């Protein structure tokens, strides 16, 4: 079978691997779609992010869906032919964090396509994947493209849960990549009174309007766009920060009301923040990292038609054209979510 393997920055290879077999409690899945995530792009462009670096070849990918092909011993929950969204979250369920319901902080997490541990955890951009039954969410009624969006949607659902009640709140979203646009979708579904989104590309801010933002600002062409929201000690109750850029985070502080919640989703390495100004406003800064239980909720919400992620999948590229797919996914002037097509 073929797999996408990152060896170093700008060194991406389509390699052959042995096709795996499903063991007890597992299923063999024939991959259908795989979304290229920001972390995949960091490995491709820079060989990692922050202190996380590639130290050995690693199969990329963790946003995937596929068709169940074979069942391992003892599996009765699924059947061959079903479309499933595959959660990349594989906690140990034995450490203190798993025991307290914080599986996303598992001490022995095996998250697909992660160079955080060494040896690295191999990813899911491969034609055939063996997964535990517990990872598989039945995606009947969805397309494979929608099912592969369950992972990024889960990230935002976890952040929204951490942020608290959004009903009637004024929400600011910085960064209109896939995570930021999903934040717009989720905030609108949760009853936000107003959603304002910012980015540095007209293509992505236009997309934010299409999926539910009330107003958008291109802060590249209008760097002072948020100044209008600073009057009276600020305007917004909740921030979903999806860029990971220190200057962007700092620029939001004047626009936030005293006591506002800052949800940090963007991961761009360590940053300097205006702590004095944040303290004076009694802002609540919260990090949001991955997800766990939210994965199945994400699939259910899509199946119920309560969240429509289809507009965010702007491109589907055959696996053989992986290089073009990764280059396209890096271009926010024309792409939001680029997915690999494993069957074309």
Annotate 270-322 with DSSP letters as a single string.
-----HHHHHHTT-EEEE----STHHHHHHHHHHTTSS--GGGEEEEEEGGGH
Tell me where in the chain the CATH 3.40.50.720 domain(s) lie: 155-287
238 strand-pairing partners: 171, 261
- CATH 3.90.180.10 is held by the domain 2-149+309-341: yes
Give the contacts of 232 (CB within 8 A, at least 6 positions apart): none
The span from the CA of 32 to the CA of 135, in Å, is 16
What angle do helix axes 294-303 and 150-163 make, rounded to 10 degrees?
A: 110
| CATH topology for the 155-287 domain | Rossmann fold (3.40.50)
Tell me where in the chain the CATH 3.90.180.10 domain(s) lie: 2-149+309-341
Pair type for strands 236-241 and 170-174: parallel
What angle do helix axes 202-210 and 178-189 make, rounded to 10 degrees?
A: 20
Q: What is the pLDDT along the chain (344 residues), one digit of tens a residue?
A: 999 999 999 999 999 999 999 999 999 999 999 999 999 999 999 999 888 899 999 999 999 999 999 999 999 999 999 999 999 999 999 999 999 999 999 999 999 999 999 999 999 999 999 999 999 999 999 999 999 999 999 999 999 999 999 999 999 999 999 999 999 999 999 999 999 999 999 999 999 999 999 999 999 999 999 999 999 999 999 999 999 999 999 999 999 999 999 999 998 777 889 999 999 999 999 999 999 999 999 999 999 999 999 999 999 999 999 999 999 999 999 999 999 999 98
């Amino acid at each position: 079978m073929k797999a996408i393997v990152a060896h170093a920055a700008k060194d991406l290879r389509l390699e052959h691997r042995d096709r795996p077999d499903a063991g007890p409690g597992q299923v063999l899945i024939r991959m259908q779609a795989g979304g290229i995530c920001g972390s995949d792009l960091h490995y491709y462009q820079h060989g990692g992010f922050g202190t996380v670096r590639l130290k050995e070849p690693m199969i990329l990918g963790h946003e995937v869906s596929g068709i169940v092909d074979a069942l391992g011993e003892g599996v009765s929950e699924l059947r061959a032919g079903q479309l499933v969204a595959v959660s990349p979250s594989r906690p140990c369920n034995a450490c203190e964090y798993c025991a307290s319901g914080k599986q996303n902080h598992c001490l022995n997490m095996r998250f697909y396509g992660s160079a955080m541990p060494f040896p690295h955890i191999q990813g899911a951009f491969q034609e055939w994947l063996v997964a535990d039954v517990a990872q598989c969410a039945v995606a009947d009624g969805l397309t494979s493209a929608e099912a592969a969006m369950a992972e990024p949607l889960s990230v935002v659902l976890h952040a929204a849960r951490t942020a608290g009640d959004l009903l009637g709140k004024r929400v600011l979203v910085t960064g209109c990549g896939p995570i930021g646009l999903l934040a717009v979708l989720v905030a609108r579904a949760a009853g936000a009174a107003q959603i304002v989104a910012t980015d540095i590309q007209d293509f992505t801010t236009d997309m934010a309007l299409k999926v539910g933002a009330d107003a958008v600002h291109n802060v590249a062409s209008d760097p002072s766009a948020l100044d209008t929201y600073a009057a009276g000690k600020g305007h917004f109750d909740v921030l979903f920060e999806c860029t990971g850029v220190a200057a962007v985070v700092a620029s939001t502080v004047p626009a936030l009301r005293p006591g506002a919640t800052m949800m940090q989703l963007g991961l761009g390495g360590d940053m300097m923040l205006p702590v004095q100004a944040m303290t004076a406003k009694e802002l609540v800064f919260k990090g949001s990292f991955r997800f766990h239980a939210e994965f199945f909720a994400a699939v259910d919400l899509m199946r119920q038609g309560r969240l429509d992620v289809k507009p965010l999948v702007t491109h589907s590229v055959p696996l053989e054209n992986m290089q073009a797919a990764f280059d396209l996914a890096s271009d926010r002037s024309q792409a939001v979510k680029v997915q690999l097509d494993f069957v074309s």
